[in-house]
Each structure stands twice: as structure tokens, then as C-alpha cells.
Structure 1
Amino acid sequence: MLRINRLKIEINTSNGLYGFDEEFNGGLNFIASEDNTRGKSSIIASIYYCLGFEEIIGGKGEKVLTSVYKSRLEDGDAVWPVLESGAYLEITNGLEVITIYRAAKMENRDNKLITVYHASINKLRESAVFYEDMYVHMPNSATNIKGFHRFLETFLHIELPLVPATDDVTRKLYLQLIFAGMFIEQKHGWADILSGMPVLGIRESKKRVIEYILNLDTLDNEKKKDKLRLSESSIKQRWEALVKGLLQIVGGEDCEIQGLPLNPRIISEEELSKIMILKDNERLDNYLVELDKQLEKLVLFKPKIVDNFDEIQDELEATEKLMDSYEETVFKHRRLISSENSSIDRLTNSLEIIEADIRNNKDAARLRNLGSELELSTSKDKCPVCNQTIKDTLIPDLDDTHVLQVMSIDENIRHLNAQKEMLEFARRSHEQNRNLLYENIEQAEQNLFKLRRLAKSLRSDLYSTNDNLSESMVYKRIQIDNEITKLSSISKVVINELEVLRDLSDEWKEYLKDKSSLPNKKFTELDEKKLRTLRNFFIDNIKLFGYKSVLNVNEVEISLDTYLPVIEGFDMKFDSSASDNIRAIWAFILALLQTSNKTSGNHPRVLMFDEPAQHSIIVNDMEQFFNTISKVKDGQIIVGITVKDNDTRQAIQKLNPETYKFIMVPNKAFQLISDN
């Protein structure tokens, strides 16, 4: 809970120290003045300012404060320059008391700096008082240990939920948003329900605030859904990256991997064991065994040219034949790539033409529709003079039996879009074919490089003396040994990655379990009860406050999408007069507190209304409003009110004097305390 105990404002001028110092009761408090320019709103603004909630007023820092804090103070006919200014706000959470100090104007002290004294205002001068400096309206001030709003959250025993933000991440539901549902300021707050809520990048902020205040279970469900969405996205991204990495690794050595699931799913141990690497359509482990045998055979074989001259000749011929085959493949693929590029260019040109046609037809359709709205005859395909049908083509009809059917603009657009989709599909297919050809050429050229080196060694063997060592056999041994090393390394990498895949499969299984455990219904029974309670309080309040814009107020519902009052699915503001809109704001803000108190919600149990008597509210309804808020139990309410007319003054005087405190602001809110 939050309770404001005392507010002390100090403004140092060249004429001396001016200020305001008042204590507040736990129930209803009026801050009143006989005119709306006496400084009442300046006093209320300092409460926002000390709490770091000035964004509700419409800005940050001292900009939201009036000139009396920043530049000049009027005292009768005299105007005094302001030298320094600041405010002390004493608050309690029901157990502890602290005093918040924030400067509005002070040399060498930034307005983002807030000092928190762990004592009441009366004890600030005591030497043993512990105090600490914090900051507000800076990055991470809601999360870092020296951030004031993090401290305030802890002090008020508020546990802010993580909610989705507009940039698709989750952030804390800021205190400024929550208190915008309790502090209704004069300039923006009376435009609509929760209209003073600042824009802080939280998605559906009004909805999130109401969920939090009422402590709806759906907020936890939304958090779980967001967490599951993030988990799903993370698993899919890591799974895709793992699969892509494995395919690149094995593809680099002209291998392929079989049985690898491309998308997340639960993989059994049996399925995992069936995932294998293939080389030349053979299991990699079998292929490695054969390479080991070949290497062993080459090591044992006597490496003299005289011993294997005929074999070298035969192998050179086979190698050259294989080289010719690869060269032919490269040449053939390069021709095919040229053909694919030509097809891609033609399709791209055709797409550009079709896209231009689509734009032109859409422009024509817009002009036609615009003409239709202006009720021009030509836009309806009729002559404005004779009313005969105008053909949208200059091609004449052949005769009665041969009528040339011409498509309309809308039919043209649909036809062109279909053609565009077909051409885009064709272009993608050609691009995929071209990419595959490039990959085949790269692999063929790698093989050609190896075969050319082998052929060179074989030729060297043929033209060397008989006693020379066989260069080709040495080369083969090196080549096979290198291949064994590379393929063995790939095998180890794949084995390790399959362990990661097993872990991802387990994560996916947990994700599916958590997803299946989400409730099928959007609202729990307790949530439905709380929303019914909110509706009942709201309807009782608008009846009491004289709401007349709807014949039957029992038709008002609380939207299950926005949690705001609606009539037949529409925002009730659309059917409300200006004064009834004010009554609806009274009723709803009060209903949130009433519902939270009755159903153990999270409301901090404080309300503040600055000038609630907007748009000529009749005195009887204002009396009902004052009487209702004076009877609110377990909550503090501060009302800024102008009592220029007798009706407003009498409405307050009719209240039980024991139920409220009346703070009358004199001619000017800030009085001279000490002069120079």
C-alpha cells in the first residue's frame, strides 16, 4: 500500500524562503482553492514529481512543473526570481516511513537525482538518519539497485509482472502505468478512462494494468504464454541452426546425413541411433573401414615402379577418363547456369512489368472508388448525359453472337496478382536450380583438383627410372590418410551435435507438456468472479453518480478483451455526453479500488483526482461522488478542487467532517516562511 503522510515544498527566492507544508489523513483529503490559478495543481504536481510519476502529467523532469518552481514566484504585486526549489514527500507502506526529496531547480544537482531518507520529515535533521541517493528516468531505473522505481517497488511491497512490450520482448509493468490508473490529473486524465497513461512501449498497457490491479490469473497465463512463445522460438532457431550446420559440415566432404529431422519434435533413442552419415551411398563408418584397408594395403605394397608399371598405366587412363567426365560435367553445368540466369532475367523483367500493371490498375480502382464516393456518373461506367453504359475498352463488339468479354479493373488486379505469384514461384525454382548447379560445379572442381594431382604423380611414375619409388602410391597414401582424418573429424562433430539435438528434443518435450497444461479457458472461475464484481461496482457507481446517456445501464458490460466498460461491444464513451464521460471515469477508477479491496487485488489503495468536477457536473451528482469516496474503507483519496461557487463548497460541507480533511490553499499556495 501507499499512503501520503506529508508534503513540504521549499522555494528559495531573492526575497526569502517560500513554501507549502501540510499533512494528509488516511481517508479523504481535499486540497481546495477559490480559484483555479492559486497553485493547487502546482501542489498536486509536486506529488507526482517526488514519486517520479510526472510522465502521467505529460513529460519528464522539471518541465512538467509550473514556473513557480523554475523561474519566478509572485507575492502580491511583487515578482521574485526563483533561486532553488524542491519538495519533500513523506510516505508510508503501513510499516515503514520514508521521506523522498527531489529538487526542481538547484545548481550542481540534476533533477533525475532523488534522495530517500529513512525517516519522517520531522526527523531529517537528526544525525543518525540514514539516507541514500537514487536516480529516476534513466536506463534501468526500474531494475538496477540504485534505480528509484526499483526501490519504490520493493518499499511498497509491489511485485511488478513481466509483460510483453511493443518490441517483442518482455519488460516490467512500469509503476508509472499502474499509478496512471489511480492518479487522474487535470489536463489529460478526464478525456477518457485511463487516458493519462503514458506511452512506455508496453503492449496493451491499459489491459495489463487492470489485470495487475485486480490480480487476474489471466495475467499469469499470459506470462506463461509469452514464456512458451519465447521458448518455442528459441528451440526452433537453435534446431534450425544445428541442422543447417550439420548439413554444411557433411556436405563439405561430399557426404549426406540421413534421418535428421528438419523441424523440432520428440526424438526417441531408436530414432536418434538411426541418424547416420552416408558417403557414396554407404555408411560413413563402413566407408572408413574400407579406407583403412586401402591405406594398409598401400603401406604393405612394395612401392617400386618396376613392380606395378602396367597397373600405373591402367590407373592413369582411368583417372584421365574420370577427369574428362568431371570437366564435361562442369562445362554442361555452366551452360545450364547461363540458361537459368537468362530465365531468371526474363522472369524478373516480366515481374517488373506486372507489378507496374498492378500499381496502375490499383490507382485506377482508387480513382474509380473515389469517383463513386463523389457520386459521379462516369465512375459508375455511365455517360453523364445520356446514361448509356460506357465500355472500359475501345474494342468494338463484333456482333450479337461474338461478344468480346473484357475484364473489369478488379478482375484485372486479381488476374495480375495470380500471374505475379506464378512468376515468383517460377523464379524461385530457377534460382534454386542455379544454386544447386553452382554447388555441383564446386564439388566437381574439388574432385578435378585431386584427380589432376593424382594424374601428375602417375605420369611421373611412368617416366621415372625403374628403381624410383612410386610417387602416385605415396600421394594416394597421403590422400587417403587425409580423407580418413577429415571424415573421422566430421563423425566426431556429428556425434557431439546429436547430443545437443537430444537435449533440444527434451526441451521440446517439456515445451509441449507446458503448452498442454495451459488452461483451455481464457479466464479462471475466480477471474470471472472478479470481472463480475468490477461490473457490479461500476454499474452501481454510475447509477449513483447520475449517468444518463444510456437508458438501461444494466446493458453495460466489462469487455473480456480490454476489461473496459462497453455497450453492445462498443466503447461506452461513444454514447456518452461529456459530463457522463466524467461520471464514467469516477465510477471506473473507484470500482477498480473497490473490486481490489473486496477480492484481494494489488491496488496500492490510493487515489488522486485533480478537478473532478469537469464539464458542469450538477451539484447533486458531485455530492454523491464525494459522499461515496468519503466512505471508502482502507484507502487514501486526495482531491484537488476549486470551490469558487457555493454549490461545490456546500457539497463538501454536507459530508461528515470526521470523514475528510480540508486543506484550503490561500490566495497563493506558497507563503513566505522566512525573509532575507
Structure 2
Amino acid sequence: MLRIKRLKIEIMTSNGVYGFDNTFTEGLNFIASEDNTCGKSSIIAAIYYCLGFEEIIGGKGEKVLTSVYKTSIEEGESIWPVLESGAYLEISNGKEVITIYRAAKMENRDNKLITVYHCGIDEIGDPNKLTEDMYVHMPNSTVNKKGFHSYLETFLHIELPLVPASDDGTRKLYLQLIFSGMFIEQKHGWADILSGIPVLGIRESKKRVLEFIMHLDTLENEKKKDYLRTLDNSIKHEWDSLIKELIVLTNRETCTPQGLPLTPKILSEEDYSKISINKDNDSIDEYIEDLKEQYNNLTIMKPKIVDNFDEIQTELNETETSIEEFERELYKHRSLLYSENSSIDKLTNNLEIIDTDIRNNKDAARLRNLGSELDLATSKDTCPLCNQAIQDTLIPDTSHIQVMSIDENIRHLNAQKEMLEFAQSSHRRNKEKIQEKITQLENSLFTLRSLAKSLRNDLYSINDNISESIIHKRLQLDSEINSLNRMSEFFNNQKLKLKELSDAWKDYLKDKSTLPKKKFSDLDDEKIRTLRNHFISNLTQFGYKSILNLNQVEISSESYLPVIEGFDMKFDSSASDNVRAIWAFVLALLQTSNDKSGNHPGVLIFDEPAQHSIVINDMEKFFDYIIKLKNSQVIIGITVKDSDTRQAISKLPAEKYNLIRVPNKAFRKLPLENE
């Protein structure tokens, strides 16, 4: 709940203090002047400014305020320069009262600074009353403790939801957006429903505001859906990264992963147990045990060459044979790699040619269409002299050749482009696999060549020398065992992460299954029906005539705005009826919130609602309707230049409204405090 209790504007000049100081009551309040240029909007702008809602007017900071706050005050023939200016706004949440002070022009005070007095205006200066400085329109001013809008949210007992932002993140639904559905300012507010809503990076901001005001369950559902969409993407991304990492890791060690699910799934105990590593058709544990056995056998072998000469010669022969086989395999894969690179280059060149052809054909089609609009025969593929068809080609026309038109060419070229892009993607995947195989073969060749070198050294060494090949094998086996152990350990750790992701996926699917099948809950449907009923009733009451059958009006389930046969009803409305529709909708929102326990703070501001020569009888009905509202405060800035408007106000029961008269100039010289 928000109630504006008092506004005090102070503008310091060399001729004293000028300003405005008036109180507001529950129910209907008029700020009325004889002319439209007396400063009513400047007074109302101060309310927006103190609340930090000036973006509804169209900007940030003091620049949205009129020159009377920043430049000069006129008094008769005299003009007094403004030295300093600011405004005090006393507000209530129904239980507590605070006063907000914000400077408009002050040498040593930034306009982003707001002072909050935990008392009414008359009690400012009491040392027993708490005073706090806060900031507005700065990073985190909606979430930090000293951010004014964060404080105001708490003070008004509003819990702002997180909603999707245009950058695909989530942000709080700003207070400025919410109050743009309640504060209708004069310049832009009467163009359309919620036309004054600021652009603050919230996706579908009008929709989110209406969901919040009516307190629709769908807001929570949408929030949950967005959270689940983010969670879905996050789990899939982590799962994909983890699987790719494991595949690259195992391939680097010439191993093969088994049982890895490429996409998220709920892993049963059986599924989990099947996730393993194989090498040479053995499990990794068996393979490592085999290597350890080989290593242990080498430790008991006689280390002198004279004892192992025949075995060394045989092993060298086998090693050299393996080297030749690996070299042939490596040569074959390098040839394949060259072939893939060549294919990719050709496809890239072909795609560039096709892109050029598509552009040229689209340009030709565009020029043809332009010519068609100019009614030129050549642009219609027709000869202007003989009226015979002109083909889209310079190839001689023959009866047995069917030449495609430009549009058919474009479709054909696009199809070719898709096919070539698919082929190019396939060749790139093949290239990656071949490159991995080449790396494995090069590593194996390096190992075999090192072993062959050691074996040759053994053969040509003195017989009593220690066998270099045996020592080399030991070192090689020890290195491979350690490397495979590290890989196996890392793989097992990643398996645990995979299990955690599987559990998260299970929770995600469970939460997803609990989402309501219908977009709206039964209560949401009831609230939307209530909004429609109030809106149509208000249209009837205010003399809306642009649509004969108002039962055709519906509230869109997508935007929550009024539509007729799926189209914005504004298109069928006259200018004055569009204003009536804004009255009707803004009031219907408040009524719906009151009826169905919504989040409306119960305050409305209309600046000059008598737009586009509204009939005075309809204005009377508008005023009469407002005074019957319960639990609300409405402030109307209005010009009473003509007698009809004055009579419309005077017809209201005197105890039902508060009239604040603005003389020729809104800001008069204020008496000194001791006067």
C-alpha cells in the first residue's frame, strides 16, 4: 500500500523561498488550475522524482523537471534565478510514515542521493527520528541495503519477482515499471495503455507488470519455466563438456570409453557400472595389471646383453616391422587428411560461389519486382515489342530445355547451399577424427623408434654392458602405467560428476513434470475474467462508442491487454475513446486487485485525463466512479478553465474529494518558518 500524504517543494532564490506545500487525502484529490500552463505537471513530476520514478516521464535525474526547478522563477514582471531546489514527499504504507527528500539543483549534492526521514515533514529535525541517506539510479540500487528502491520495496511490503531480461538473464521487476501502470503522465501516458512504461531491459515488460499487479499464478509458473529452461541448458552443457573431455582424454591414451551416454539421462546402477575404459579389448584395470606383470618380468631378467642377445635381435626385428606398419598407416591417414582438407577447401569455394549467385539472383528478383511496380514489361519477363516471354538466361531458347525462373533459381541455390554445408560439416568431423588418429600413430611411432634405438645400442655394445633396451622398457612401462593410472583416476572422478549430473537431471525432470498442464490456474482464469468484466463495465460507464458490441472485447491470454478478434482494440477506437479505454483499464486493474487480493498499491495519478475533447458528461461519470472506489487514493491534475469542468467537480459531494487549487503560478513565495 502506498499513500501520498504531503508534498513540499522548495526553490531557493535571492528573493527568498518559493514552492508548493499541500497535503493529500485518501480517495480523490484534484490539483486544479485555471490554465494548462500553471505548473500542475511540474507539481506531479516532483512526486515521480522523489520516488525515483522519473523514467515514467521520459528520463533520469533533474533533466525531466521543468526549468522552474533549475533556472528561474517568474513573479509578475520579475525573474529570480534559482539557486537551489528540492522536494520533500511524505508517504505512508498504511502503518508507517516516512519523508523522502531529493535535491533537484544543489551545488554539493548529487541528484542520485535521496534522504529518508523516518517521520513526517513537520518532525524533520527531531534528533530522536532516524535519518538515512540512500542512492537511486545506480548499479544495485534495487538490491543493496542502501539502494533506495530496495528500501522502498520493503517499505511498501512489495516482493518483486525475478523476471526474464532481454539479455537472457533474470532481473527484478523494477518498481518504475509497475507504477507506470498507475501513474499516467500527460505527454506520453494517453497514447495507449501502459504507453509510458520505461525501457529497462525486461522482456515483455507490460505483460510482467500486469501479471504482478493481478498476482497471477502464471508469473510463478513462468519464473519456474525459465528456471527449468536455464537448468536444462546448464545440465546439457555440463554433460556434453564432460563427455567430450572423457573421450578426448581416453583417445589420447589410445583407449576406448564404453557406456558413455552422449545426452543427459537418469543413470541406473547397471548403466553406471557399464561406464568404463577399454584398451586392446581389455578393461583398463586388466590392461594396467598386464603392464605391471610385464614390468615385474623385466626386473627379474638378466640385465647383461650377453645373456639376451638373441632375444634382443628378434625383438628389434619385430619392432622395426611394427614401425613400418605404423608408418604406412600414418602415411595413409596423412593422405586422408590431405584429401579431407582439399574437399573442405573445394566446398568452401563452392559455397562462396553459391552465396554470390544467391545474392545476384535476389538482386535480380528485387529489381524485377521494382520494375513490376513501375509497370515495365521487361520486369515482368515479357518483351515490350512482341509480348513474348523472356527467359532468365542468355542461353538460346530451345523447346526441349526448361529454364528455371529467378525464384526457382533462388530456391534451388538455397537447397544446394544446405547440401554443401552439410557435406562440409561432415568432412570437418572426419578431419578431426583423422587428426586424432594421426596424433596417436605419431606417439606410438615415437615410442617404437625409441625402443628400436635402445635395441640397436644393445646389439652393438660390449657384451658385458647392461641392456639399455630392458632399462628403456622398464622406464616406458613405468611411464605408461603411471599415465594410465592418472587417466583412470580422473575418469572415475568424472564418473562421480556424471552421477551428480544424472541426479540433477532426475530432479529437473521431476520438477518439470509438476508444471501445470494449463497455462493459467483456475484462480488466474477467474482474475482475467474479473478484469474483463470490470473493463467492459467501465467502458460502458464512461461512454465508449467506437465498438457497438462490447461483448466482443476480450483480454488477451498472451499480453493481458484488451483485444477484439485478436487485434488491439485501439485500432478500432477514436482518439477520445482511446482515452476512455485507458481510464477503464487502469481502474479495472485496481478493482481486480482489490477483488482478488492482487499486488496493486492502491494509488493512481492521472495528469490531464480530459484529453481529445472528452465530453463533460463522461468526465462527470469518471469522477463519480472514482469516489466510489474503496481502499484507494487518486490524484488528478486537471485544468478547470471552462465552466463545465468546474461544474463537474462542484457536483461531487464536498466531503468526497480534496481540491488543491493552483493559482496563476504553482510555485509561490513561501512564508518563513517563524512567520
The normalised TM-score by structure 2 is 0.98
Q: Secondary structure at the match of 1:496?
A: helix
- Decide which of 568, 573, 588 is 2:565's aligned counterpart: 568
Q: AA paired with 1:591?
A: A
Following superposition, the deviation at residue 675 of structure 1 comes to 7.8
Query: Which residue in 1 is equivalent to 2:41?
Result: 41
Q: AA paired with 2:259?
A: G
User: Alpha-carbon deviations, 1:134-165, whole Å to 9, x = none?
Assistant: 00000110011110000000000000011000
User: Partners in 2 of 1:372 and 1:183 — Cα distance?
Assistant: 51
Q: AA paired with 2:84?
A: E
User: Partners in 2 of 1:494 and 1:403 — Cα distance?
Assistant: 66
Query: Which residue in 1 is equivalent to 2:242?
Result: 242
Query: Which residue in 2 is equivalent to 1:192?
Result: 192
Query: Which residue in 2 is equivalent to 1:535?
Result: 532
User: Partners in 1 of 2:165 and 2:297 — Cα distance?
Assistant: 67
Q: AA paired with 1:267?
A: L
Structure 1 stretches of 4+ moved >6 Å: none
Q: Secondary structure at the match of 1:359?
A: helix
User: Partners in 1 of 2:133 and 2:367 — Cα distance?
Assistant: 63
Please list, as runs of the form range in 1=range in 2, the aligned pairs for 1:136-535 lying within 5 A after superposition. 136-384=136-384, 387-398=387-398, 402-535=399-532
Q: AA paired with 1:459?
A: R
User: Partners in 1 of 2:430 and 2:304 — Cα distance?
Assistant: 48
User: Partners in 1 of 2:609 and 2:229 — Cα distance?
Assistant: 43
Q: AA paired with 1:176?
A: Q
Distance 1:384 1:549, change over 3 A: farther
Q: Which moved more, 1:306-315 or 1:389-398?
A: 389-398
Following superposition, the deviation at residue 234 of structure 1 comes to 1.1
Q: Secondary structure at the match of 1:457?
A: helix
1:71 to 2:68 alignment: no
User: Partners in 1 of 2:556 and 2:483 — Cα distance?
Assistant: 64
Query: Which residue in 1 is equivalent to 2:668?
Result: 671
User: Alpha-carbon deviations, 1:317-351, whole Å to 9, x = none?
Assistant: 11111112222222232233222222222221111
Following superposition, the deviation at residue 417 of structure 1 comes to 1.0
User: Partners in 1 of 2:371 and 2:579 — Cα distance?
Assistant: 42
User: Partners in 2 of 1:397 and 1:197 — Cα distance?
Assistant: 62
Q: Secondary structure at the match of 2:605?
A: strand
User: Partners in 1 of 2:576 and 2:367 — Cα distance?
Assistant: 43
User: Partners in 2 of 1:391 and 1:485 — Cα distance?
Assistant: 73
- Alignment coverage as a number of residue pairs: 673
Following superposition, the deviation at residue 449 of structure 1 comes to 1.2
| 8 Å contact from structure 1 (residues 304, 469) kept in 2 | yes
1:596 to 2:580 alignment: no
Distance 1:479 1:396, change over 3 A: closer
User: Partners in 2 of 1:293 and 1:23 — Cα distance?
Assistant: 95
1:627 to 2:639 alignment: no
User: Partners in 1 of 2:579 and 2:490 — Cα distance?
Assistant: 69
| 8 Å contact from structure 2 (residues 391, 405) kept in 1 | no
Q: AA paired with 2:171?
A: R
Q: Secondary structure at the match of 1:582?
A: helix
Instruction: Please provide the CA RMSD for this pair.
Output: 1.4
Query: Which residue in 1 is equivalent to 2:90?
Result: 90
1:22 to 2:19 alignment: no
Following superposition, the deviation at residue 630 of structure 1 comes to 1.4
User: Partners in 2 of 1:440 and 1:244 — Cα distance?
Assistant: 16
Query: Which residue in 1 is equivalent to 2:105?
Result: 105
| 8 Å contact from structure 1 (residues 351, 423) kept in 2 | yes
Q: Which runs of 5+ in 1 are unaligned?
A: none
User: Partners in 2 of 1:600 and 1:127 — Cα distance?
Assistant: 39
User: Partners in 1 of 2:339 and 2:242 — Cα distance?
Assistant: 34
Q: Secondary structure at the match of 1:432?
A: helix
Following superposition, the deviation at residue 396 of structure 1 comes to 4.2
User: Partners in 1 of 2:196 and 2:544 — Cα distance?
Assistant: 22
Q: Secondary structure at the match of 1:116?
A: strand
User: Partners in 2 of 1:599 and 1:592 — Cα distance?
Assistant: 10
| 8 Å contact from structure 2 (residues 231, 508) kept in 1 | yes
User: Alpha-carbon deviations, 1:494-543, whole Å to 9, x = none?
Assistant: 11111111111011011001111111111111111110100000001011
Query: Which residue in 1 is equivalent to 2:59?
Result: 59
Q: Which runs of 5+ in 2 are unaligned?
A: none
Q: Secondary structure at the match of 1:89?
A: strand
User: Alpha-carbon deviations, 1:554-593, whole Å to 9, x = none?
Assistant: 1111011100000111000001110000000000000000
User: Partners in 2 of 1:26 and 1:674 — Cα distance?
Assistant: 27
Query: Which residue in 2 is equivalent to 1:548?
Result: 545
Q: Secondary structure at the match of 1:601?
A: coil
| 8 Å contact from structure 1 (residues 134, 148) kept in 2 | yes
User: Alpha-carbon deviations, 1:433-479, whole Å to 9, x = none?
Assistant: 22222222211111111111111111111111222111110111111
Distance 1:654 1:674, change over 3 A: closer
Give the fraction of aligned pairs with identical amino acids, expressed as a percent. Answer: 69
Following superposition, the deviation at residue 374 of structure 1 comes to 4.0
| 8 Å contact from structure 1 (residues 15, 675) kept in 2 | no
User: Partners in 2 of 1:447 and 1:114 — Cα distance?
Assistant: 72
User: Partners in 1 of 2:381 and 2:594 — Cα distance?
Assistant: 65
The normalised TM-score by structure 1 is 0.98
Distance 1:396 1:484, change over 3 A: closer
User: Partners in 2 of 1:536 and 1:103 — Cα distance?
Assistant: 44
User: Alpha-carbon deviations, 1:229-249, whole Å to 9, x = none?
Assistant: 111111111111111211122
User: Partners in 1 of 2:370 and 2:654 — Cα distance?
Assistant: 65
Q: Secondary structure at the match of 1:190?
A: coil
